[in-house]
Structure 1
Amino acid sequence: MEQFYLAALQMVPGIGSSRIKAMVDYFGGARQAWLADRGDLFLSKCLDNNVCNNLLAQRDKIDIHKLAESFLKKRISLCTLAEDTYPDLLRNTFNPPYILYYRGTLPADNKLIAIVGSRQATAYGKNAAGMLSSALAEAGIGIISGAARGIDTAAHQGALEHGYTIAVLGSGVDVAYPPENAKLLASIAENGAVISEYTPGTLAHPAHFPARNRIISGLSQGVIVVEAAEKSGALITADFALEAGRDVFAVPGGIFAIFSKGTNRLIKQGAKLVDSAKDVLEEYGWETALSAQMAPPELSAEEQAVYSTLNYTDPIGIEEIVIKSNVLPAKAAYILLQLSLRGLTVEHSAGRYTCAAREGIK
C-alpha cells in the first residue's frame, strides 16, 4: 500500500516530487507522512502552513483503499525513484519525477530512441516518422513519443508494427489526449507503456507539455526531430535532450517548408542528419537484423500502374490516379485498398494517397 500513500500525497495541492521525497525521508515512509498530525508536520519543516492545511483536508476526502482499488481496476501501476524498476536513463536526469504512473510494461533496457515533431505534420513528415520508428522497432529499439497528433502518432503507429513503444502523456494515464488517439493508447498499453508523472484523472493542460517533454528526452538515448517549425515543442524536447547529455538527430526537409525550418536549423547547429534507421543504429553500435536492401514489392501490371503514380511526399486524389494510371475508378479504388492493407500506401485526408515509406525501399 506504500505506493498508494505516495499517490495520495501527490494529489495534495502544493506537494510535488521534492516535497514528497523530503517527507518520505523525514517520516520514514509515505504512510507515516500521510498519517502525521499537524504538530509533526510543522516540526518536519517539509510543508508551509497552506500546504499543511491542504494535506489535512485531502486526508479527510481520500480513502486509500478505494484509491488502490480504482488504480487496480484501471490497470494503473506506480513506480518510484527508489525502486529498481525505475528507468535508469530517466533516474540520472535533473529533476526526475519521484513517481511514474504507467499502464503496460516499463522498458527492460536502455535501447530507447525518442521521435518527436510537429502536430501539423505533412505527409512527408509522417511517412519519415513511420519509416524510422518501424525500422528501429524491428531492430529491437524502443520508440518514445508523446502521443500527440501528427509526428508522434505516426511514430507510435510505426513502432507498433514491429515492437515496443512508450507514450509519455501531459495528462493522467487514464485520460486519452487527443481523444482520437484512445485506441492507439490502448494498443500502446498492451504492447509497451503509457507513462505520466501526473496523477490519474488529471486532464491535459498546456503547462504540462514542456514538463512532459523532459521525460521523453530523459527516457531516451537520443531524440530524432522529424518536423518542427522555428518555435515548437519538439525543439523544447531537443533542448532537454542536450541538457541531459543526450544525442539529437534531425530529418532534413525542404528549404521552403515551414515545418522543416526547425529541423534544418538543428542540423546547422550540429545535430546528426538522419534519413534512415541505419544512421541511428550505427551511432550506438546496435546490431540489427535489418537487411541492407529490402526486396521491392511484387505487383501486378495494374497495381504497378496505380502505385507508380504515387510519391512519398505529396498526396494525390483518386481522380488524378485514375487519369495517370489509365485504370477504371472502381478498380483503382480496389487496388489502393489492397496496397494499403499490404502496407504499401497511406491514405490521407480527403481520400488522397502517398506511398508508404519503408526502410531499404526507394
Structure 2
Amino acid sequence: MPAPDTAQAFTDATLSGDHLFPRAGADELRAWLRLVLSVGRATGRRLLGALGTPQQVFDSPLGMLRELVTPTQLQALAAPPGELENCLTQTLNWLDGGADRQVVTLGDPLYPAALLNAADPPLLLHLRGRHDLLTRPGLAVVGSRNPSAQGTDNATAFARCLSEAGWTIVSGLALGIDGAAHEGGLAGPGRTIAVLGTGIDRLYPARHRDLALRIAAEGLLVSEFPLGTPPLRENFPQRNRLIAGLTRGTLVVEAALQSGSLITARLAAENGREVFAIPGSIHAPQSRGCHALIKQGAKLVESAQDILEEFQMTKENGPLTRTGTSPRRLAAMSNSGTEPAADDGPPDEVLTALGHDAATLDMLIDRTGWPAPALAARLLELELEGRLQRLPGGLYQRRGLA
C-alpha cells in the first residue's frame, strides 16, 4: 500500500477501515514510543501522513525530513531519546500484567473512531479494562472538584440513568463530580471510562485508587501518557481534550467560572459535540460556570431524559429498549435525574420555607415564624436525614427530592 501524502489521507485511510498499521509488536511499539517521545503528537501525525509508519519515518533520508520538521525536531529524530528503552521495558512489563491491557496506536482497528473525528488525536493510547466500551455511545460528565452535596447527587443520578439507557459515562477520575459520575456509570450496563492525566500505572488521586480498580475491572481506564508519568498540572487539560473527544456530548453538572470543566465543554463544542449544563442557584459559586455555558448556547437540562431526547435515544427500537430500561421507568427516574422516591407524607414546613435556593437561619425564622432553637433543631434533623445540607456561611440548601 503506498504511503499517504498527508496527515488527512492517513486519517481517511484509518476511518475507511483500510488500516495502515497492524497491532504493534515489540519493535513496532518501540518505533511508536520513539516517535511520541521525540516529536509529540502534531508533528508525529504530520510525519505519519507524509511517510507512512513510524519506522518509515526513522528510515527516511535526512533531506526528506528537513522539509517536514524544524532543525530542533530533526535533531530529536536523529537518535533515539535516552528514556526510550526504559519506557519500552515498562510498557512491555505492564502489558504482561493481564489480557485486559493493551496499547492501541493511531492506525489500529481498535483506535476509537470518535477521537479520529476530534482535534489533536493522540498517537497511542494505553487501555486497561473493557476495550469494547470505546465503540459505545459516550457522554462526558464533568464538574467541580468541590461540589455541593446536591451536585454530587445530581452527577451520580444523571450518570446512572444514562448508563441504564446504554450510554457509557466518560470522566476524568478527579475528586468531586468526576468520581460521582463514575459511580453512577458503574451502576448501569453502559459502565464508565476514566481518562487519566497520568500514566495508566499511576492511579491519581490516591483517594480514588479503589474506584479506579473497580473501573479497570468493570469499565475502562485510558491514558495517552507514557508509563510512570506523574500527576503534572499541564497534563490535565490534555486529558480534558480526550474526555471531550471520546464522547458525543458533555454534561457539566457544577463548575466555577474558572474551571477545567469549562475547558472540556469548550473543546466539545469546538469538535461539534453537544454541550449540556445543569442550572443551579444564582447564589452558588458552583453554578456560575453552568449559567455562563447556558448563556453561550449550552442546552439547559433538568433531567437525564432531556439529554436522551436530544439524542433521540428513547425510541422503541433504540438502545433504551435493548438495555431493559423501559421508557416509562426512565421517565420516572428522570423527573429529577434520580430514582423514583417513595411518598414521604405531607410536605415539610421547613423545607417548603427553604425552597430550592440556599437560605440562612434568620431568613428561615422570618419565613416560618418558628423560634430559633426549635428551627435549628429541625434543620439538624433534616441534615441527618440527608434532606438538606449546611453550606459555608451559615447557609442551608435542600437536596434531591427532599
> 5 Å matches for 1:1-362?
1=25, 3-10=28-35, 12=37, 14-22=38-46, 24=48, 28-31=52-55, 36=59, 40=61, 44-45=65-66, 48-52=73-77, 55=80, 57-58=82-83, 61-62=85-86, 64=88, 67-73=91-97, 76-106=101-131, 107-163=133-189, 164-287=191-314, 288=320, 289=325, 291=329, 292-293=331-332, 296-297=341-342, 324=378, 357=400
Give the secondary-structure state (helix, strand or coil) at the position aligned to 2:230.
Answer: coil
User: Given the two structures, how large is their TM-score scaled by the length of structure 1?
Assistant: 0.77
Give the secondary-structure state (helix, strand or coil) at the position aligned to 2:173.
Answer: coil
Counterpart of 2:332, as a letter, is Q
Counterpart of 1:44, as a letter, is L
Offset at 1:296?
A: 3.4
Offset at 1:238?
A: 0.6
Whether contact under 8 Å (1:88, 1:110) holds in the other structure is no
**1:239-292: CA deviations, max 9, x gaps?**
001100011100001001011011011112221111211001001111332513
More displaced 10-residue stretch of structure 1: 139-148 or 67-76 = 67-76
Give the secondary-structure state (helix, strand or coil) at the position aligned to 1:170.
Answer: coil
Offset at 1:209?
A: 1.2
More displaced 10-residue stretch of structure 1: 198-207 or 39-48 = 39-48
Give the secondary-structure state (helix, strand or coil) at the position aligned to 1:241.
Answer: helix
For structure 1, the residue ranges without an aligned partner over 5 or more in a row are 315-319, 337-343
Tell me, in whole angstroms, the C-alpha distance in 1 between the residues paired with 2:49 and 2:139: 34
Q: 1:100 to 1:348 in 2, by over 3 A?
A: farther
Whether contact under 8 Å (2:36, 2:123) holds in the other structure is no
Whether contact under 8 Å (1:168, 1:216) holds in the other structure is yes
Give the secondary-structure state (helix, strand or coil) at the position aligned to 2:294.
Answer: helix
Counterpart position of 1:340: none
Tell me, in whole angstroms, the C-alpha distance in 1 between the residues paired with 2:43 and 2:221: 25
Tell me, in whole angstroms, the C-alpha distance in 2 between the residues paired with 1:130 and 1:57: 44
Offset at 1:222?
A: 0.7
Give the secondary-structure state (helix, strand or coil) at the position aligned to 1:275.
Answer: coil
Counterpart of 1:258, as a letter, is P
Offset at 1:19?
A: 3.8
Give the secondary-structure state (helix, strand or coil) at the position aligned to 1:16.
Answer: helix
Offset at 1:195?
A: 0.7
Tell me, in whole angstroms, the C-alpha distance in 1 between the residues paired with 2:237 and 2:94: 28
Whether contact under 8 Å (1:5, 1:31) holds in the other structure is no
Offset at 1:324?
A: 4.4
Tell me, in whole angstroms, the C-alpha distance in 2 between the residues paired with 1:216 and 1:346: 32
Whether contact under 8 Å (2:32, 2:54) holds in the other structure is no
Q: 1:213 to 1:326 in 2, by over 3 A?
A: closer
Q: 1:104 to 1:347 in 2, by over 3 A?
A: farther
Offset at 1:50?
A: 3.7
Counterpart of 1:86, as a letter, is Y
Whether contact under 8 Å (1:3, 1:78) holds in the other structure is no
Q: Identity over the aligned pairs, expressed in percent?
A: 33
Tell me, in whole angstroms, the C-alpha distance in 1 between the residues paired with 2:46 and 2:86: 22
Q: 1:323 to 1:188 in 2, by over 3 A?
A: same
Counterpart of 1:204, as a letter, is P
Whether contact under 8 Å (1:213, 1:236) holds in the other structure is yes
Give the secondary-structure state (helix, strand or coil) at the position aligned to 2:151.
Answer: helix
Offset at 1:84?
A: 2.1
Give the secondary-structure state (helix, strand or coil) at the position aligned to 1:136.
Answer: helix
Tell me, in whole angstroms, the C-alpha distance in 1 between the residues paired with 2:34 and 2:375: 59
Offset at 1:204?
A: 1.4
Tell me, in whole angstroms, the C-alpha distance in 2 between the residues paired with 1:326 and 1:57: 61
For structure 2, the residue ranges without an aligned partner over 5 or more in a row are 1-24, 315-319, 334-339, 359-373, 392-396
Tell me, in whole angstroms, the C-alpha distance in 1 between the residues paired with 2:90 and 2:311: 46
Q: 1:173 to 1:355 in 2, by over 3 A?
A: farther
Counterpart of 1:293, as a letter, is A
Tell me, in whole angstroms, the C-alpha distance in 2 between the residues paired with 1:229 and 1:8: 37
Tell me, in whole angstroms, the C-alpha distance in 1 between the residues paired with 2:79 and 2:399: 53
Offset at 1:223?
A: 0.4
User: Given the two structures, how large is their TM-score scaled by the length of structure 2?
Assistant: 0.70
Counterpart of 1:97, as a letter, is P
More displaced 10-residue stretch of structure 1: 285-294 or 77-86 = 285-294
Counterpart of 2:116, as a letter, is R
Give the secondary-structure state (helix, strand or coil) at the position aligned to 1:195.
Answer: strand
Give the secondary-structure state (helix, strand or coil) at the position aligned to 2:96.
Answer: helix
Q: 1:215 to 1:325 in 2, by over 3 A?
A: closer
- Count of residues in correspondence between the two structures: 331
Offset at 1:69?
A: 3.0
Q: 1:356 to 1:156 in 2, by over 3 A?
A: farther
Q: 1:104 to 1:26 in 2, by over 3 A?
A: same
Counterpart position of 1:339: none
